[in-house]
Amino acid sequence: MKVNKNAALIILAFFAIYVIWGSTYLFNKIAVDEIPPFFLAGIRFVTAGALIFGISVLSGKSIKISKKQFLNSVFLGFLFLSFGNGTVVWALKFVDSNFAALEISAQPLVILLMMWILQGKKIQSMSLLGVFLGMLGIYLLVSQKNILEQENAILGMLMIFAAMLSWAYGSLFVAKADLPKNYFVNTGYQMFTGGILLFILSLIFQESWSLPSSWSVEVQWSMVLLVLLGSIVAFTSFNFLLKVVSPEKVATNTYVNPIVAMFLGWYFLKEQITLQSIVAAVILLTGVYFINTKKTLKILNRFKK
């Protein structure tokens, strides 16, 4: 049976934001133990953006965009990358990678509440149940004694929540924003401008900069994978999906990301997975499921149109 080209692209794009993004928590955690967070994220996104522009030019794609498209790209680069990703990377200095992934799995809940607050979207009964379960799961996750006893753990939790708000608003904004029509070029502008802003933040916070040659082999490989897979492949997929499906559907990557992150963090970094974390994850992801039931998604899609 012949598969529709657009359908195949959507499937591949979902694989990228599900699995590849789940692994970025591990790579960021490895790198941030050696490199300052904003400097780390800045190098990642400026490098990825420059590579995207180079590939676009060599393949004959125009990177010319309008002033409005450029300003929108800068704004989204800040929301998604400078503040959104940079803050999460910073928070990884204080919390485990699997914890960060589990907290971020509440992203659909945040998007739904933001649609209610900013756009007046009525929350349906199934979604209300999902909100309740999501909040219960988050409470069980963050109330664990072994986590609260970690130095600056609460600060890390709050930083991740702030990043979630930034990503949620960006996900709603991008659906109707005037952006470059080519998803690859669109990603390049967001990456490059977001990375420049991260370098500025790095200078403001007086982070120490270093050359890649001084990094350990593990950090060098982590950065390569973050740039090529986590940034170029997954973020291009993310921008593509936000234009062809609803933002709530895109946010369902949070079903898989925590599972991938928990396994990789446990296997490679020996991060602890407690019974309470597992219970919290089940309750939280069940809540996300109710928020994203077929009926709810149809309502949200109709509202979006």
- Is the pLDDT at 226 greater than 70, yes or no? yes
User: How many helices and strands, by DSSP H and E, does the chain display?
Assistant: 17, 0
Domain boundaries, the chain: 5-304
Q: Which residue has the tokens 């990603």?
A: 187
What predicted TM-score, i.e. pTM, was given to this entire model? 0.83
Helix (H, G, I), strand (E, B) or coil at 61: coil
Q: Using 50, 70 and 90 to split pLDDT, how confident is the model at 81?
A: very high
Residue 189's contacts (CB-CB under 8 Å, 6 or more residues apart) are 49, 65, 69, 70, 73, 74, 77, 180
How many angstroms separate the CA atoms of 281 and 265, rounded? 15
The residue type found at 113 is L
- Is the pLDDT at 297 greater than 60, yes or no? no
- Residue pair 189/180 in contact by the 8 Å Cβ criterion: yes
Tens digits of residue pLDDT in 97-130 = 989 988 888 888 888 889 888 888 877 778 888 8
pLDDT of amino acid 147 = 82
Mean of pLDDT over the chain: 87
Tokens of 151: 């130095």
Angle at 257 between CA 253 and CA 262, to 5 degrees: 165
Q: Using 50, 70 and 90 to split pLDDT, how confident is the model at 303?
A: very low
- Is the pLDDT at 1 greater than 90, yes or no? no
Q: Using 50, 70 and 90 to split pLDDT, how confident is the model at 292?
A: low
First to last CA, the chain: 31
pLDDT of amino acid 5 = 65
Residue 90's contacts (CB-CB under 8 Å, 6 or more residues apart) are 32, 37, 38, 159
Torsion of CA 122, 124, 125, 127, to 10 degrees: -110
Q: Using 50, 70 and 90 to split pLDDT, how confident is the model at 65?
A: very high
Tens digits of residue pLDDT in 228-266 = 999 899 988 887 888 888 776 786 777 788 888 988 999
Tally Cβ neighbours within 10 Å of residue 276.
15
pLDDT of amino acid 116 = 87
Sign of CA pseudo-dihedral 241, 246, 251, 252: negative
Tally Cβ neighbours within 10 Å of residue 301.
14
Task: Check residues 291 and 182 and name the one with the higher pLDDT.
Answer: 182
Task: Check residues 257 and 155 and name the one with the higher pLDDT.
Answer: 155
Comparing 76-85, 250-259, 269-278, the range with the smallest average pLDDT is 250-259
Please state the length of the chain.
305
Tens digits of residue pLDDT in 167-209 = 999 988 988 899 998 888 988 999 999 999 999 999 999 999 9
Task: Check residues 155 and 112 and name the one with the higher pLDDT.
Answer: 155
How many angstroms separate the CA atoms of 22 and 37, rounded? 18
Helix (H, G, I), strand (E, B) or coil at 182: coil
Q: What is the mean pLDDT of residues 128-137?
A: 88
Sign of CA pseudo-dihedral 182, 190, 155, 218: positive
Torsion of CA 24, 25, 29, 30, to 10 degrees: -40
- Residue pair 100/271 in contact by the 8 Å Cβ criterion: no
Q: What is the mean pLDDT of residues 41-60?
A: 94
pLDDT of amino acid 157 = 94
What DSSP assignment string belongs to 243-262? HHS-HHHHTTHHHHHHHHHH
Task: Check residues 277 and 291 and name the one with the higher pLDDT.
Answer: 277
Q: How far is CA 168 from CA 24, 162, 247, in A?
A: 19, 10, 9
Q: How far is CA 248 from CA 83, 207, 299, in A?
A: 21, 36, 11
Q: Using 50, 70 and 90 to split pLDDT, how confident is the model at 56?
A: very high
